[in-house]
Amino acid sequence: MNIDREKALQLHRKARGKIRIYPTVNIRNEEDLGMAYVQGGAYAAAGIMEDPDVIFEYSGKGNRLALISDGSAVLGMGNIGPRAALPVMEGKCLLFKNFGDVNAIPLCIDARNADDIVAMAKMVAPTFGAINIEDVSSPNSFTVVERLQTELDIPVFCDDQHGSAVVVLAALMNALKLVDKELPDTSTVIMGAGAAGISVARLLLNAGAGRVTVLNKCGIIGPGNGCMNFVQEELAKRLGETRGGASLDEAVKGADIFIGLSSRGKISAAHVRSMKPGSIVLALSMPEPEISWEEASEAGAAVFAEGLTGTSNAMPNLHAYPGIARGLLDVRAKGLNENILMAASRAIAGAVDRRRLSRRCIIPDLFSDEVTPRVAEAVAQTAIAEGLASLNVPPKQVYEETWQRLFGGIMERV
């Protein structure tokens, strides 16, 4: 989908920010002022000092998410810094609100390293029920997320990592049904070893995938690859790869699945022809996919998808992160794990009507009213089962409440 530049800039000039803060309490007289602020606020503060858990009853923490970015890896633009990243982060917060009724606050920070981001996140954590680390370059994003997950008592996730992995696994769940293959029997090639590529590989392995091969700019990661960072080195050991440094030509030959997650990667029709019959090609690089649908299909790809919206089988992370955040917040989760992410993938895959499942329809419609409620419900119930939830809510409650929030006219005003 091509967006007119001048129309987009006109929208931003007119909006002056894509999110606002509105009051939930009216102040019409001195009593209202005292109830909401000085004396009333003091009562609430004293209550929290006696019982820290009532912060969720006396404040907006339970539906508030910090979206923290240093602007070092903005999608399609790279390292543009925190100021230039702000319109993009505001847009992401708008999507959290519109698609999940989550009050996300953009915090674009002038950080010099991973330690700065961690320190900032820890300082603001008391205000928020969850944190999303957004558009931070790899491997810093892994360092930040993994440290915060162990040092905070609220869920910390990274859409570039977890959202990407969840959507890819969901698409593969449906695509494999169409080609009559099982994930453990497949060979997968992932081109791109950044935040998304590494995270997709990790989740596929946890889901039971067969052989998984990952390539960075120097070829297959593994012994002999001269440009691996520490995250890639750790993954290469887990993969047991022995062809380190070998080319894409070798990696893709005989593969069942190709997943493109490299910003400037390309594959040819010859590469697709070298794959096994019934091949699945997910060309997710943006703004340009690794190969077009026409080229891939003519070369024999049985199923094709790309990351851009406005195309068949579009796979934006929007399918995942609003529902993941909604589910985590609704059970006051203390963290998340791979089982929660796989549950989210199953929920997204299951939102495709079985009667509509086809090679041009392996992922739900972007504006489906089922996706976020299903994902939120799956995330919430799995968090409870995994012992990561502070609230034990009955099955279907989060689904029903999420649907009413989004489509029943009771969305929070702030």
Which residues sit in the known binding site?
134-135, 160
Where exactly are the structural domains of the chain?
A: 5-159, 162-306, 320-407
Are 192 and 265 a contacting pair, CB within 8 Å?
Answer: yes
Average pLDDT over residues 175-196: 96
Residue 4 has pLDDT above 90, yes or no: no
CATH topology of domain 162-306: Rossmann fold (3.40.50)
Spatial contact of 312 and 383, defined as CB atoms under 8 Å apart: no
Residues 352-363 have pLDDT tens digits of 998 999 998 999
Q: Out of 95-109, 125-139, 304-318, which region has the weakest mean confidence (pLDDT)?
A: 304-318
Please state which of the ranges 78-92, 219-233, 301-315, 375-389 shows the lowest mean pLDDT.
Answer: 301-315
pLDDT score, position 266: 86
Across the range 64-83, mean pLDDT stands at: 93
Residue that the structure tokens 């606002």 belong to: 20
Which uninterrupted H or E stretch holds 328?
helix 321-330
Backbone angles phi, psi at 108, to 5 degrees: -90, 120
Identify the pLDDT of residue 56.
96
| pLDDT at residue 412, as a whole number | 60
pLDDT value for 313: 77
What is the C-alpha separation between 130 and 269, in angstroms, rounded?
A: 43
Beta-strand pair 211-216/219-220: antiparallel
What pLDDT, on a 0 to 100 scale, did the predictor assign at position 75? 82
Distance CA 282, CA 293 (A): 10
5-159 with 162-306: one CATH topology?
yes
The model's pTM is: 0.94
Please, which residues bridge with residue 191 across strands?
215, 260
CATH of 5-159, one of 3.40.30.10, 1.10.10.10, 3.40.50.10380, 3.30.1120.80: 3.40.50.10380
Residue 414 reports pLDDT greater than 70: no
Q: How far apart are CA 56 and CA 37, in angstroms?
A: 17
- Binding-site entries for a divalent metal cation: 134-135, 160
Percent of the chain with pLDDT over 90: 82
Residue 210, phi-psi category: left (phi > 0), alpha (psi -120 to 50), beta (remainder): beta
Residues acting as catalytic residues: 37, 92
Whole-number mean pLDDT of the chain? 93
- DSSP three-state, residue 360: coil
Tokens representing 107?
Answer: 């915090």
Tell me the per-residue pLDDT of 249-287, one tens digit each, with 9 for 90 and over: 999 999 999 999 987 678 999 999 999 999 999 999 887
Confidence class of residue 410 from pLDDT cuts 50, 70 and 90? low
pLDDT band of residue 3 (cuts 50, 70, 90) is confident
Is residue 15 pLDDT above 90, yes or no?
Answer: no
